[in-house]
Structure 1
Amino acid sequence: MISRGSVWVGWRGVVLASAVGVVLGACTPSDTEPAPTAEPTSTSASPSESGEPTEEPTDERPEVDPPERPVAMEKESVEGAIAAAEYFMRLYPYIYASGEFTEWDAIVDEDRCENFCATARSGAVDLHAGGGYAVGGAVEVLSADGGGPYDDQEVDDVYIVELELSFESSEDVRSDGTREHYDGAERSARVALIWVDDRWRVIDAWNHEAES
């Protein structure tokens, strides 16, 4: 049983309660303790003797392309759900780097995925609204497995995907030149998806290592 107390420990240190309780006969929570959350560190340009920064803040942000959309996610199947979940997680650093949300909004069910999805999006919106952006943070999928469809008292025909992920280190670059560093980390995640109107929608995401 995946309980309502499930928690997603985000790569950027966000800890969120899961909104969905889904019965999985073949899946049980891991007994492994969750990896410690990486603490961000802030740096800025060193002042000169006159008190002015030695480096001028720059707005020369790198161009970032969205992750490639897998062909496998164009159909309803376990393989399609796995491909969609991997694509969704690769969109996570992309929205922080680019400030573009078209692909993210197309796959996220904002009415259901109110925790990790909403917080990730608002964090990226705030970063770019202040003139900032992120660099780094690429996602590597170490392993992936999935199952479904499962029925729940709240949602029918849910597919569950388990991912082992490796995030590269990243930095949030602020408009004043301040940089906030995040160490690379490995995370275990579960993503819940449904097939609606011939496409996948993410309804929840959480760290199954932290389930209670």
Structure 2
Amino acid sequence: MALVVGIGVVLGGCSTPAPEVEKTPSVVSEAPSPTPTPTPVPTGPVKPERPADMDRTDEVGAAAAATYFLELYPYVMATGDLEEWDAMTFAELCGFCTSVRDQAQEIANDGDTYRGGEIDAVVIKGYPLDDLVGGYPLDVNVAISDAVLINSSGLEVDRQASQSKPYRVEVLHDGTLWRVLTVSSDMPVS
């Protein structure tokens, strides 16, 4: 378009009349603008992100593993996805771990829905490696939000009020990954 206008100005400066050129409308073919791909919005609970510190095999790794495991709780209860939970559970010792597993399976099998129960786990005290057990004991404050269980008919069948309390969590690195030995609200005197 700029080229056509430039030629007209040059020719307009000449003394001889320029021949009339029939103008044809220019057709500009616009490519359709790409339709933005919508960002998926999570429709259910989101699995917590595994902390990078879990790659460590020391006290820092133990603390990261303990908090991550506890923060998996609402995800496991709501989805029935036990893959990571089971991988981290030392089932022979951890009654809490197997109890949560059983509850999550029952909820999934019954077609019930678990909502809420988000957990904020904060290590309040870590201890050196327990040579007898081979794991790290940790005192973890666990704050859990309100949770509700709704049956497959849409009726509320259970409700848990929010709470915050300390737990003793013991984790062991088995050479490959962190395993949870115990989660207990019976806090030993330290």
**Bin of the TM-score, shorter chain as denominator length:** 0.7 to 0.9
2:151 to 174, 192, 202: 174
Structure 1: unaligned runs, 5 residues or longer: 1-61
Q: Secondary structure at the match of 2:129?
A: strand
1:184 matched to which residue of 2?
162
Amino acid at match of 1:184: S
How far apart, CA to CA, are the structure 2 residues paired with 1:178 and 1:164?
Answer: 32
How much is the aligned-residue C-alpha RMSD, in angstroms?
Answer: 1.8
Shift in Å, 1:142: 4.4
After superposition, residues 11-90 of structure 1 pair within 5 angstroms as 62-90=43-71
Write out per-residue CA displacement over residues 106-155 of structure 1, whole angstroms, 9 at most, x where no aligned residue: 11111222x11111110111111000121111111344321221123xx3
2:9 matched to which residue of 1?
none
How far apart, CA to CA, are the structure 2 residues paired with 1:172 and 1:210?
Answer: 32
| Greater RCO (CA < 8 Å, at least 6 residues apart) | 1
2:103 matched to which residue of 1?
123
2:138 matched to which residue of 1?
161
Q: 8 Å contact 1:82–1:145 — kept in the other structure?
A: no
Structure 2: unaligned runs, 5 residues or longer: 1-42
Amino acid at match of 2:85: W
* Normalised TM-score (structure 2): 0.72
1:205 matched to which residue of 2?
183
Structure that is richer in helix per residue: 2
Structure that is richer in strand per residue: 1
How far apart, CA to CA, are the structure 2 residues paired with 1:209 and 1:111?
Answer: 21
* Greater Rg over alpha carbons, structure: 2
Count residues with an aligned counterpart: 147
1:137 to 114, 117, 122: 117
How far apart, CA to CA, are the structure 2 residues paired with 1:167 and 1:209?
Answer: 18
